[in-house]
């Protein structure tokens, strides 16, 4: 069975505090976009091993891969004694803040449940939460407000397509380092870079959304990687209504009024950043 695994971006991120277990309380608006990995899952008829193949050599194919963890968890909970063969066609850049790994793991859970039909939707979401905070959203898809550590979801109904440019530099950023630095700054200054996440994606045009997007982690990641601020400014100069960093970075997203303006910006930005991943896409509604 072959299933698509869409990338995820954030329209808004606010950090509300830190739990004793190290996770952070967050308030976010998350959105899937039309940039896909493709996951193929078939039963291993030779033995009970879980085997992974991938077209990207930088992706681990051992038990550290979320696809492996998803298959192992599902088969154990469902009481199914079989192995599976998983192929990952990787198109979403890694270490990008686009939830590629989480989306791949979610796709494995969904594929296995279509094959074996052993779990209900609630149980599938529970398994996803055990794998990572983004996985339940990747199971549900679409648009949602995420709270607690990101696993408590409230679906947002969107009937407007937004046109985007994603720019992923050829370097990554440590999510743990970004959050640690955020904590240090917040404690030192006795304040936090608050974002108003009381936003909903409204009916209408991109201008309605552009004025509302914001990411509380941006100043921290930009201080660690100043080049990202330059990229954001370049995106704005290319004609974007607004721009935002996705997750803890390093991907920068430009929001455009229509497909033509996004295409023109893509041409400009590809010349400026020829070695970076630059992709024109749109939201999934």
Task: Identify the domain boundary among 90, 125, 155.
Answer: 155
Asked whether residue 146 falls in the same domain as residue 255, the answer is: no
Are 139 and 260 members of one domain? no
Residues 93 and 195 in one domain: no
Q: pTM (2 decimals)?
A: 0.91
pLDDT on residue 183: 83
Are residues 234 and 277 located together in one domain of the fold? Answer: yes
130 and 261 housed in the same domain: no
Q: Which of 94-103, 171-180, 198-207, 211-220 has the lowest mean pLDDT?
A: 198-207
Catalytic residue among 8, 90, 168, 212: 8
Q: Phi and psi at residue 129, in whole multiples of 5°?
A: -65, -30
Same domain, 22 and 98: yes
Q: What residues are paired with 89 via a beta bridge?
A: 38
242: domain range? 163-282
Same domain (yes/no): 6, 112? yes
| Half-sphere exposure at residue 219, Cβ-oriented, CA atoms within 13 angstroms | 12
Note whether 119 and 11 are same-domain residues. yes
Last residue of a domain, one of 110, 130, 155: 155
Q: How many domains does the chain have?
A: 2
Q: Give the model confidence (pLDDT) of 79-89 as tens digits.
A: 999 999 999 99
Q: In this predicted structure, what is the pLDDT of residue 38?
A: 98
Residue 134 a catalytic site member: yes
Residue ending a domain, choose from 107, 133, 155: 155
The answer to whether residue 189 scores a pLDDT higher than 60 is no
What average pLDDT does this structure show over 13-17? 87
Catalytic residue (choose from 104, 134, 168, 212): 134
Domain of residue 278, CATH code: 3.30.70.890
Which pLDDT does position 149 carry in this prediction? Answer: 83
pLDDT digits (tens, 9 = 90+) for 45-91: 889 999 999 999 999 999 999 999 999 999 999 999 999 999 999 99
Residues 127 and 97 both lie in one domain: yes
Is 183 a known active-site residue?
Answer: no
Q: Does residue 259 share a domain with residue 130?
A: no
Model pLDDT for residues 93-149, shown as the tens digit of each residue: 999 999 999 999 999 999 999 999 999 999 999 999 999 889 999 999 999 999 888
Q: Per-residue pLDDT for 195 more than 70?
A: no
Scanning the structure block, which residue is given the tokens 């937004």? 162
CB 225 within 8 A of CB 173: yes
Which one, of 206, 204, 199, lies nearest residue 162 by Cα?
206
Helix 259-272 vs helix 227-237: crossing angle, to nearest 10: 140
């Amino acid at each position: 069975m072959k299933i698509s695994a869409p990338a995820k971006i954030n329209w808004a991120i606010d950090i509300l505090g830190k739990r004793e277990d190290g996770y952070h309380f967050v308030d976010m608006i998350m959105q899937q976009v039309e940039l896909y990995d493709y996951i193929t899952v078939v039963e291993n008829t030779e033995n009970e091993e879980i085997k992974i193949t991938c077209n990207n050599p930088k992706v681990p194919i051992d038990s550290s891969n979320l696809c492996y963890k998803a298959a192992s968890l599902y088969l154990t909970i469902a009481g199914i004694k079989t192995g599976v063969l998983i192929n990952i066609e990787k198109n979403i850049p890694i270490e990008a803040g686009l939830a590629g790994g989480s989306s791949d793991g979610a796709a494995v859970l969904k594929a296995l449940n279509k094959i074996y039909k052993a779990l209900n939707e609630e149980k599938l979401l529970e398994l996803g939460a055990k794998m990572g905070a983004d996985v339940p959203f990747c199971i549900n898809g679409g648009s949602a407000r995420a709270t607690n550590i990101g696993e408590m979801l409230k679906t947002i109904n969107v009937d407007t397509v937004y046109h985007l440019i994603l720019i992923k530099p050829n370097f990554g950023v440590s999510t743990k380092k970004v959050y640690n630095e955020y904590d240090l700054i917040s404690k030192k200054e006795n304040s936090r870079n608050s974002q108003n996440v009381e936003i909903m994606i409204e009916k209408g045009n991109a201008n309605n959304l552009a004025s509302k997007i914001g990411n509380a982690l941006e100043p921290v990641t930009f201080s660690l990687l100043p080049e990202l601020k330059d990229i954001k400014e370049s995106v704005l100069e290319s004609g974007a209504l607004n721009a935002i960093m996705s997750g803890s970075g390093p991907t920068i997203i430009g929001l455009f009024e229509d497909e033509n303006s996004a295409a023109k910006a893509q041409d400009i930005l590809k010349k400026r950043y020829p070695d970076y991943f630059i992709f024109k896409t749109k939201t999934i509604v």
